[in-house]
Amino acid sequence: MIEKDFNTSYKPSWCPGCGNFGIFIALKNALVELNIKPENVLLVAGVGCSGNGVNFLKAYGWHSLHGRALPTAVGAKLANKDLTVIVMAGDGDGYGEGMAHFIHAVRGNTNITYITHDNQLYALTTGQAAPTTDKGTQTKSTPGGLIEEKANPITLALSSGGSFVARGFSGDATHLKELLKKAILHQGFSLVDVFQPCVTFNKVNTFKYFFDRLYNLDKKEGYTTNDVLAAYKEAMVWGDKIAYGLFYEDKRPSYDKYLPQLNGPALVKRPMKVRNIEQLLKEFA
C-alpha cells in the first residue's frame, strides 16, 4: 500500500498553506505504515474545515452534525469492532458544541481515535472566537477581546480519565505521523489535539508562533508517559514555551472489553434473528 491508495478524485479545497494539509499527509502515511486498508477505515467528521476531509480520504466516511461526531463514532465502533474508527473535528466543533460528548467519550474509553484540528477559532465561519482562543484575543465575535478563560483540551482529557492524551503540530508532519500511529494502535480512546494554524483568519497563532515555542516531550530527559501528575504539569505550560507529544498513556481495558455480548464476530457480521417479543411485551403491559 502507498499514500495514493487513500486519495480520492476530489482535490482539497482548504486555503493554501492551511494546517489541514499536514494533518492529512500524516494520517495517510500513518495508515499506510500500519498497513490498514481503506475499506477497513471509517472517518467520522464534524462540521468545519476539518469535516471536508471525508471527501479527500478514500475510506468509509460519515459527516455528522455539529459537535456530534463522537457519539456517532462510538456507536459505529461498537457495531463493527473490525473498523479502524477515526474522528476529525475542529476545536470549535469538538470543544464547543461537542464538549459534553468529548468528556463522556474520554470517560467511556471506546477504542477510537479523536483528532482535533485546533486553530484556536471558528475558521469555516470566518474567524469567531472558539473555546481554545486565548483570553483577550480580538476576533470577529470579540472585537473588544475575549473575556472567558480558554479551555485546555489536554488537562480536560487528563482530569476526565483519558487513557491516551497527546498533542501534535501540523507543521511537524513526521512527528505527527508517529503520534497518530501510536494513537490508532492504542486500545482505548485516543485524543490527539493538533495545533493547526489557520493562515486566513488567525494572525496570532501562526506556524512561526508555534515553531518558536514548541518543545517535544519525547525528547525531554526523564519524562515518562505513565505519570498523570507530570502530564498535567506539562499541559499547564503555556506562553513562551508549549509542550507537544504524548503526554500520558494508560493501557487499561477499553469499553468493549466490559461487554461480553461483543465477544466473537462484529455485530454487523452476525446473522439477523427474528425474535418473538410477545412475552416481553406482556411483561411490560
- Say whether 205 sits in a helix, a strand or coil: coil
**Distance, CA of 213 to CA of 261 (rounded, Å):** 48
CA 207-204-86 angle, 5° bins: 55
- The terminus-to-terminus CA distance of the chain in angstroms comes to 57
Q: What is the CB neighbour count within 10 angstroms for residue 49?
A: 25
Q: Does the predicted TM-score (pTM) go above 0.85? A: yes
CB of 103 closer than 8 Å to CB of 160: yes
**Distance, CA of 106 to CA of 116 (rounded, Å):** 14
Per-residue pLDDT tens digits for 261-282: 999 999 999 988 777 888 888 8
What integer pLDDT is reported at residue 285 of this predicted model?
73
What integer pLDDT is reported at residue 109 of this predicted model?
98
On the 0-12 / 13-18 / 19+ scale of CB atoms within 10 A, 194 is: buried
**Distance, CA of 262 to CA of 257 (rounded, Å):** 8
CB of 248 closer than 8 Å to CB of 228: yes
Residues lower than pLDDT 70 in the chain = none
SS (H, E, C) 95-164: HHHCHHHHHHHHHHCCCCEEEEEECCCECCCCCECCCCCCCCCCCCCCCCCCCCCCCCHHHHHHHCCCCE
What integer pLDDT is reported at residue 282 of this predicted model?
84
**Distance, CA of 46 to CA of 94 (rounded, Å):** 8
Helices 20-33, 173-185: crossing angle, 10 deg rounding: 50
Would you kindly state where each structural domain of the chain is located, as residue ranges?
3-283
Assess if CATH 3.40.50.970 describes domain 3-283: yes
Per-residue pLDDT tens digits for 80-136: 999 999 999 999 999 999 999 999 999 999 999 999 999 999 998 898 999 999 999
Q: What φ, ψ does residue 103 adopt, rounded to 5°?
A: -60, -45
